[in-house]
Amino acid sequence: MIQPGPRNLITDVDGLAVGNAVDERARTGVTVVLPQDSAVASVDVRGAAPGTRETDLLDPTCMVERIDGICLSGGSVHGLAAGDAVVGWLHEQGRGFALGSWRLPIVPGAIIFDLGIGGETDWGRCPSYADLARVACDGAGADFPLGNVGAGMGACAGRLKGGLGSASAVAGDGLQVAALVVANPVGSVVMPGAGTLWSWALEQQGEMGHQHPPGPARGIEQELPLEARIGGNTTLAVVATNATLDKAQAKRVAMMAHDGMARAIRPAHTPFDGDSIFALSTTRMALPQPAQMSVARIGSIAADCLTRAIGRAVFAAEPLGAFPGYRQSHADAFADGAKTG
């Protein structure tokens, strides 16, 4: 039997910690995923407007096998500076790829565009993404909140407030799979004319307020948000497992996990999004045989976790600026609406 882990967070995968930091004035933030030991990783980028660092080395044909952290940030191109700070922090911990006498921390990462949320953006004074990244690293642990947190602080989901989300699945044989997401898509996370989240069918244990099943579809074509939002997007995710994968297998899991994004966001992978998914293996458990069947199983579970994580991100998000929160806008779409709306 597969069910959510004790935290229902990506840290239900043994060996992972997550840290977050926000700049409330700038309405932006940074999220770091730090494996206790180096982790096998790969990535699959399907959005047409990505902003990334160190993703080429995650190709299975490239030399470096393991990474020391993943950095997700707001701030568009300005936020890429956060990754450098994570490298510095890890170097101070003696972490990194060994090359002769040198230690070289490997920290892939990606950014979202959150400059349109209405925060202060005087880049001469604030925010310092390097400072935010160090705060996130210092505070990394097993527990963290969702919603307007970390890199999800300035995220928006279509016309609603987006945010940071996570979900996990633990099997009876010891397999652990989980997802972390910064949900900031141009597409909609809500079924048209209903208010029910696209993620509703995979909800576990009331994690999205006990979603009401949707009624008959009122239309097929998905409406894109106002032109002012076009270009200010991107959904980033990390999926992880404790099973031992090589880079090629991790790449396949990342590719399969994109199906989870497409189930929760309509449309996904548009010309205006930089949708990217990192896949991590903490190698704490031997990969069950036959290997390819296990990779398929892990990829399928990872996709489901990502669908749930996106739903949880939007459900947890609080209103900010001109963007309303889902719980306030669609209180009639879930059973707990009277309590939280």
Q: Does the pLDDT at position 123 exceed 70?
A: no
| d(C-alpha 91, C-alpha 229), whole Å | 38
Name the band, by pLDDT with cuts 50, 70 and 90, for residue 341: very low
Name the band, by pLDDT with cuts 50, 70 and 90, for residue 188: very high
Q: What are phi and psi of 180, to 5 degrees?
A: -130, 140
User: What per-residue confidence (pLDDT) applies to 98?
Assistant: 80
User: What per-residue confidence (pLDDT) applies to 87?
Assistant: 97
Name the band, by pLDDT with cuts 50, 70 and 90, for residue 120: confident
Name the band, by pLDDT with cuts 50, 70 and 90, for residue 328: very high
| pLDDT per position as a tens digit, 256-306 | 999 999 999 999 998 889 899 999 999 999 999 999 999 999 999 999 999
Share of the chain above pLDDT 70, in %: 92
User: What per-residue confidence (pLDDT) applies to 216?
Assistant: 75
For the chain, what is the radius of gyration of the CA atoms?
A: 19
Instruction: Please write down the HEC assignment for all residues of the chain.
Output: CEECCCCCCHHHCCCEEEEEEEECCCCEEEEEEEECCCEEEEEEECCCCCCEECCHHHCCCCCCCEECCEEEECCHHHHHHHHHHHHHHHHHCCCCEEECCEEECCCCEEECCCHHHCCCCCCCCCCCHHHHHHHHHHCCECCCCCECCHHHCCCEECCEECEEEEEEEEECCCCEEEEEEEECCCCECECCCCCCEHHHHHCCCCCCCCECCCCCCCCCCCCCCCHHHCCCCCCEEEEEEEECCCHHHHHHHHHHHHHHHHHHCECCCCCCCCCEEEEEEEEEECCCCCHHHHHHHHHHHHHHHHHHHHHHHHHHCCCECCECCHHHHCHHHECCHHHHC
User: What per-residue confidence (pLDDT) applies to 218?
Assistant: 66
pTM equals 0.95
| pLDDT per position as a tens digit, 33-50 | 999 999 999 999 998 889
| pLDDT per position as a tens digit, 213-226 | 987 766 665 666 54
| d(C-alpha 91, C-alpha 173), whole Å | 36
Please tell us whether the domain made up of 2-340 is placed in CATH 3.60.70.12.
Answer: yes
